Copies of this chain bind each other. A is one copy, B any other.
């Protein structure tokens, strides 16, 4: 086991590595690229790494299903940090290649929908073929297997390519959210701008089940920031939901909502409470009246008095 080793979705030169390097502690860790999200996370599970940075959500392509599914199943893991990274692609080519020379392009499957419109407009006849990663796409261009690859501009140097076009992104504000995942432990203390992630399984064939789950949050004034459905693998129509809620598990409203979910759902997996990236406590939406910790404590005191005949 190594407390100083962090894995990430490799290879070198991916956006994930760029995201990882935004963390201050990255400077003092051994950063190890892995071939896949499962591989990066399995290294954490086995103790070979202290943590792994993997993408979990993309503003264009949605949830990263490999990450969601890995976190939902197998040996439990927990999220300790999130990193938001704006995403813009460069079109990397072998030096001298012109736009009109490009017949084949590659990149990670997740990149493709983010540059789809750009491709239609500028390379309508180019054939897309997916690569294992954006960086791997760059390597395949270097090897001559493709004419161009979409990747981070920072990957050009590594593979002896040049960025023919930069800042390519179909959508404004394209960004990817990454999470730093470790083995389960006590979450860090609340910062005042926190997020809690859980995966909740729906009971079988109960039409109102999702509505009931959402009401467990709503009745306690807990706002949701992400609801991502995932198949459970038990056949079409069977879902679990990855949910990000505002607040920290140690907030009374969040804790009570989680217990409510635990009681009515066949399975709930707590994925962690951690600071929200890019949001200061002063920017957090005001709580609904009656949902602060003080209100919970006061109501709890009142109940104790009522049970004792002194309310």
B295–A235 contact, CB under 8 A?
no
A24 / chain B contacts, CB cutoff of 8 Å: none
Q: How far is A246 from B255 in the complex, measured between Cα atoms in Å?
A: 25
Q: How far is A129 from B224 in the complex, measured between Cα atoms in Å?
A: 36
A59–B239 contact, CB under 8 A?
no
Identify 7 residue pairs between A and B in the complex whose beta-carbon atoms are under 8 Å apart, listed by A's number.
A59-B231, A63-B229, A76-B311, A129-B136, A174-B233, A210-B214, A227-B229
A231–B62 contact, CB under 8 A?
yes
B184–A299 contact, CB under 8 A?
no
Which residues of chain A in 266-311 are interfacial with respect to chain B, using CB atoms and an 8 Å cutoff? Answer: 268-270, 285, 289-291, 295-296, 298-300, 302-303, 306-311
Which residues of chain A in 231-285 are interfacial with respect to chain B, using CB atoms and an 8 Å cutoff? Answer: 231, 233-239, 246, 249-250, 255-256, 258-260, 262-264, 268-270, 285
A123-135 interface bits toward B, Cβ cutoff 8 Å, 1 = contact, 0 = none:
0000111111000
- Interchain nearest-CB distance for A125 vs B (Å): 11
Contact for A264 among B60, B129, B238, B290, CB less than 8 A: B290
Q: How far is A185 from B17 in the complex, measured between Cα atoms in Å?
A: 48
B234–A62 contact, CB under 8 A?
no
Q: Which residues of A contact B (CB under 8 A)?
A: 35-36, 38, 57-63, 65-66, 69, 76, 78, 84, 109, 113, 116, 127-132, 136, 170-175, 177, 184-187, 207-208, 210-212, 214-216, 218-220, 223-231, 233-239, 246, 249-250, 255-256, 258-260, 262-264, 268-270, 285, 289-291, 295-296, 298-300, 302-303, 306-311
A219–B227 contact, CB under 8 A?
no
- State whether A171 and B129 are in contact (beta carbons under 8 Å apart), knowing that A113-B66, A264-B290, A303-B258 are contacts in the complex: no
- Interchain nearest-CB distance for A252 vs B (Å): 10
- Interchain nearest-CB distance for A120 vs B (Å): 9
B308–A59 contact, CB under 8 A?
no
A309–B184 contact, CB under 8 A?
yes
Contact for A227 among B172, B185, B210, CB less than 8 A: B210
Q: How far is A270 from B306 in the complex, measured between Cα atoms in Å?
A: 7
Contact for A263 among B76, B214, B259, B295, CB less than 8 A: B295
B219–A208 contact, CB under 8 A?
no
- Interchain nearest-CB distance for A248 vs B (Å): 10
B78–A233 contact, CB under 8 A?
no
A225–B208 contact, CB under 8 A?
no
Q: How far is A59 from B210 in the complex, measured between Cα atoms in Å?
A: 18
A233–B171 contact, CB under 8 A?
yes
Q: A59-B231, A263-B296 are in contact. List 17 more A-B contacts (CB 8 A).
A: A35-B127, A59-B234, A60-B231, A76-B311, A171-B234, A184-B309, A207-B246, A208-B218, A214-B214, A215-B219, A219-B260, A249-B307, A259-B296, A262-B302, A263-B298, A264-B289, A270-B311
- Interchain nearest-CB distance for A272 vs B (Å): 9
